[in-house]
């Protein structure tokens, strides 16, 4: 059963025009979220700089009922919905500057609260050396009980998921879309495997389609769930570089695999090393920094 506070947050999270920042402000001002629904249209527009359309959505009681009915359907699909109000919300993710207020999970939700979680990201067009480096570094970690988090993208991301599965370990895929719209489509089969035997995570409701702006937002969750982030091949200004930067900002350990200075795929990893990421060539390089979580 959903308590009243959680119902209010779930409903507000589905109102177009209400972003994470505004919702967080509402929660800071009233953790029950009751006052928001007691305010007049004029008060809401003025205080939170909301559009007429957004305010009307917030006041639409029929829409509230439809959305809550939808959450009942999610239960039938074995989709777990947790909010920042819930004790089962991942503690590491709660620590970041802008944690998602609502998370949708499908699979073994206990994976998200494990101590030994490492995120692995990299270029979408991984080289043979990049894939071999990935296998060399993360296989001993997986065999040692580390859960691998990545973003289900082409290249290093999907290779990291596959290596975790092949090595008998656990993996978490964080999506930039809802569960009903797996992106890229070519990875639907492995996403189904992960949902059945591991864990899919998204801050977007299951019916949300992919959109470019959602993927950089997704990256903060990948790094936020993890003790550290490993980057294997990343071009300058790539999404993987964004994940590395976010991990540094979140105070998490960042590990970067070096490569040839003539290889464009490693320009981003070299930049991260210059910014303080640890030059990494083996699993031991990672365990030296995360020694508190070795076993």
Give the Cα-Cα-Cα angle 242, 245, 248 (nearest 5 degrees). Answer: 150
pLDDT of 71 reads 80
pLDDT, one tens digit per residue, over 28-49 is 999 999 999 899 999 999 999 9
Fill in the DSSP letter of residue 90: -
Instruction: Read off the pLDDT of each residue in 12-31 and give the average, rounded to a whole number.
Output: 91
Cα–Cα dist 242/245, whole Å: 5
At 275, is the pLDDT very low, low, confident or very high (cuts 50, 70, 90)?
A: confident
Q: Are 267 and 153 members of one domain? A: yes
pLDDT of 62 reads 66
Q: Are 41 and 168 members of one domain? A: no
Q: Are 204 and 282 members of one domain? A: yes
What is the side-by-side strand order in the sheet with 117-122? 79-83, 102-107, 199-202, 171-174, 147-150, 117-122, 228-232, 253-257, 278-279
Q: Are 17 and 155 members of one domain? A: no
Q: Which of 76, 97, 120 is the last residue of a domain?
A: 76
The values of phi and psi at residue 77, to 5°, are -90, 5
Q: Are 72 and 158 members of one domain? A: no
Instruction: Read off the pLDDT of each residue in 154-163 and give the average, rounded to a whole number.
Output: 97
Q: Are 202 and 249 members of one domain? A: yes
Nearest to 33 by CA among 105, 89, 84: 84
Cα–Cα dist 270/163, whole Å: 24
Radius of gyration of the chain (CA): 20
The answer as to whether 15 is a domain residue is yes
Q: Are 122 and 240 members of one domain? A: yes
pLDDT of 293 reads 61
Domain of residue 177, residue span: 109-293
Top pLDDT among 59 and 295 is at 59
Is the distance from CB of 163 to CB of 134 less than 8 angstroms? yes
pLDDT of 121 reads 96
Q: What is the CATH number of the domain that holds 209?
A: 3.40.50.450
pLDDT, one tens digit per residue, over 50-103 is 999 999 888 887 677 777 788 888 888 999 999 999 999 999 999 999 999 999
The answer as to whether 84 is a domain residue is no
The answer as to whether 10 is a domain residue is yes
Q: Are 68 and 134 members of one domain? A: no
pLDDT of 208 reads 93
pLDDT of 184 reads 95
Fill in the DSSP letter of residue 277: P
Residue 286 has pLDDT above 90, yes or no: yes
pLDDT, one tens digit per residue, over 230-245 is 999 998 878 888 888 8
Percent of the chain with pLDDT over 70: 98
The values of phi and psi at residue 204, to 5°, are -105, 140
Indicate the pairing of strand 199-202 with strand 102-107. antiparallel
Average model confidence (pLDDT) across the chain: 92
């Amino acid at each position: 059963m959903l308590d009243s506070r959680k119902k209010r947050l779930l409903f507000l999270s589905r109102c177009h025009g209400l972003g994470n920042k505004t919702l967080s402000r509402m929660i800071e001002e009233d953790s029950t979220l009751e006052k928001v629904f007691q305010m007049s249209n004029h008060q809401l527009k003025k205080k939170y700089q909301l559009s007429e359309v957004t305010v009307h959505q917030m006041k639409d009681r029929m829409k509230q009922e439809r959305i809550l009915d939808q959450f009942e359907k999610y239960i039938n699909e074995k989709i777990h919905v947790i909010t920042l109000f819930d004790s089962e919300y991942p503690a590491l993710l709660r620590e970041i500057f802008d944690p998602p207020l609502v998370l949708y999970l499908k699979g073994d939700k206990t994976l998200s609260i494990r101590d030994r979680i490492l995120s692995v990201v990299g270029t979408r067009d991984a080289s043979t050396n990049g894939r071999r480096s990935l296998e060399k570094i993360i296989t001993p970690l997986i065999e040692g009980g580390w859960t691998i988090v990545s973003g289900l993208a082409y290249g290093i991301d999907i290779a990291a998921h596959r290596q975790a599965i092949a090595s008998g370990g656990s993996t978490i895929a964080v999506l930039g879309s809802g569960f009903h719209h797996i992106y890229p489509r070519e990875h639907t089969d492995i996403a189904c495997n992960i949902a059945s035997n591991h864990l899919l995570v998204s801050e977007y409701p299951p019916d949300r389609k992919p959109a470019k702006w959602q993927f950089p937002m997704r990256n903060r969750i990948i790094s936020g769930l993890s003790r550290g982030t490993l980057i294997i091949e990343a071009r300058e200004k790539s999404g993987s570089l964004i994940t590395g930067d976010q991990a540094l900002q979140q105070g998490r350990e960042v590990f970067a695999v070096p490569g040839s200075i003539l290889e464009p795929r490693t320009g981003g990893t070299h930049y991260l090393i210059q910014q303080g990421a640890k030059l990494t060539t083996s699993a031991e390089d990672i365990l030296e920094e995360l020694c508190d979580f070795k076993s």
